[in-house]
Chains A and B, each alone.
Chain A
Amino acid sequence: MISETKVSRRFFLSAAAAAGGGLLIGSGLEPELIGALAQTQAKDIPLNAWLRISADDVVTLISSQSEMGQGVMTTLPAVLAEELGADWSRVKIEFSPVAPAYANPRINWQFTGNSESTTAFFELLRQMGASAREMIVAAAAKRWGVKPEECYTDNGKVIHRPLGQLAGRSLKFGDVAEDAAKVTPPTSPKIKAESEWKLLGKPLPRVDLPSKLNGTAVFGMDFSLPGMVHAAVMQSPVHGGAVASFDKSSVMGMPGVIDVVPVPNGVAVVAGQYWQASQALKSLKVTFDDGPNAQVSANSLNAQYRAALGGNVWKTVKTEGKAVSGEAMAGQFAEVFSQEYESQFLAHATMEPMNCTAHTTDDGCTVWGPLQGPQLTQIVLASALKLPPEKVTIKRTLLGGGFGRRLIADLPLQAALISRAVGKPVKAVWSREEDMRHGLYRPATLHRITAGLDKAGNPEAIAHKLVSPSILQYVYAPAVTDDNDPSCLEGLMETHYAIPHQRVDFKLLKVGVPTSVLRTTGYGPNIFAVESFIDELAHKAKTDPYQFRRRLLKDERAIKVLDTVVEKSGWRRRAPKGAGRGLAITEAFRTHIAHIVELSVKNNIVKIHRIVCVIDCGVALDPEICKNSIEGGTVWGLGAAFKSNISFKDGRTVEANFNGFRIAQMDETPPIEVHIVNSGTKGMGGTGEVGPVTLIPAVANALFAATGKRYRSLPLSRHGLKLA
Chain B
Amino acid sequence: MLALAACLAFGASLFSSSVNGGGGKKPAKDDAGARAAFLEAYKVFTHPRCMNCHPAGDQPLQGDDSQPHFYRVRRGADGNGVFAARCGNCHQTRNQSGEHSPPGAPHPLEEKERRNEPRWHLPPAATPMVFERRTPAQLCRQLLDKKRNGKLTPEQLLHHVSHDPLVLWGWNPGEGRSVPPLSHTQFVEQVKTWIEKGGACPQ
Interface residues of A (CB under 8 A from B): 282, 656-657, 659-660, 665, 667
Residue from B71, B72, B100 in contact with A657 in the complex, judged by beta carbons closer than 8 Å: B100
Ranked nearest first, the 3 interchain pairs of A and B with the lowest CB-CB distance are A659-B100, A667-B72, A657-B100
A394 to chain B, nearest CB (A): 34
Contacting residues of chain B (98-148) with chain A, CB-CB under 8 angstroms = 99-100
Please, which residue of chain A has its CB at the minimum distance from the CB of B70? A659
Q: A659-B70, A665-B71, A667-B72 are in contact. Are A282 and B97 (CB under 8 A)?
A: yes
A569 to chain B, nearest CB (A): 28
For B70, list chain A residues within 8 Å (CB).
659
For B99, list chain A residues within 8 Å (CB).
656
For A660, list chain B residues within 8 Å (CB).
100
A584 to B72, CA, bound (A): 31
Interface residues of B (CB under 8 A from A): 70-72, 97, 99-100
B78 to chain A, nearest CB (A): 22
A639 to chain B, nearest CB (A): 14
A665 to B70, CA, bound (A): 10
A117 to chain B, nearest CB (A): 34
Please, which residue of chain B has its CB at the minimum distance from the CB of A659? B100
For B100, list chain A residues within 8 Å (CB).
656-657, 659-660
Q: Give the A-B contact count at a CB cut-off of 8 A.
A: 10
Please, which residue of chain B has its CB at the minimum distance from the CB of A431? B98
For A665, list chain B residues within 8 Å (CB).
71
A642 to chain B, nearest CB (A): 15
A667 to B71, CA, bound (A): 8
Please name 10 pairs of A and B residues whose Cβ atoms are closer than 8 Å in the assembled complex, sorted by A.
A282-B97, A656-B99, A656-B100, A657-B100, A659-B70, A659-B100, A660-B100, A665-B71, A667-B71, A667-B72
* A-B contact sample (6 more), CB < 8 A, given A282-B97, A656-B99, A660-B100: A656-B100, A657-B100, A659-B70, A659-B100, A667-B71, A667-B72
Please, which residue of chain A has its CB at the minimum distance from the CB of B99? A656
A232 to chain B, nearest CB (A): 14
For B71, list chain A residues within 8 Å (CB).
665, 667
A436 to chain B, nearest CB (A): 12
For B97, list chain A residues within 8 Å (CB).
282
For A282, list chain B residues within 8 Å (CB).
97
A717 to chain B, nearest CB (A): 13
B84 to chain A, nearest CB (A): 11
A667 to B68, CA, bound (A): 14
For A656, list chain B residues within 8 Å (CB).
99-100
B64 to chain A, nearest CB (A): 14
For B72, list chain A residues within 8 Å (CB).
667
For A657, list chain B residues within 8 Å (CB).
100
A700 to B72, CA, bound (A): 25
A656 to B71, CA, bound (A): 18
A665 to B97, CA, bound (A): 26
A657 to B70, CA, bound (A): 13
Please, which residue of chain A has its CB at the minimum distance from the CB of B62? A659
Please, which residue of chain B has its CB at the minimum distance from the CB of A667? B72
B100 to chain A, nearest CB (A): 5
A63 to chain B, nearest CB (A): 35
A319 to chain B, nearest CB (A): 50
A660 to B100, CA, bound (A): 9
A659 to B99, CA, bound (A): 10
For A659, list chain B residues within 8 Å (CB).
70, 100
A667 to B97, CA, bound (A): 29
A629 to chain B, nearest CB (A): 25
B197 to chain A, nearest CB (A): 44
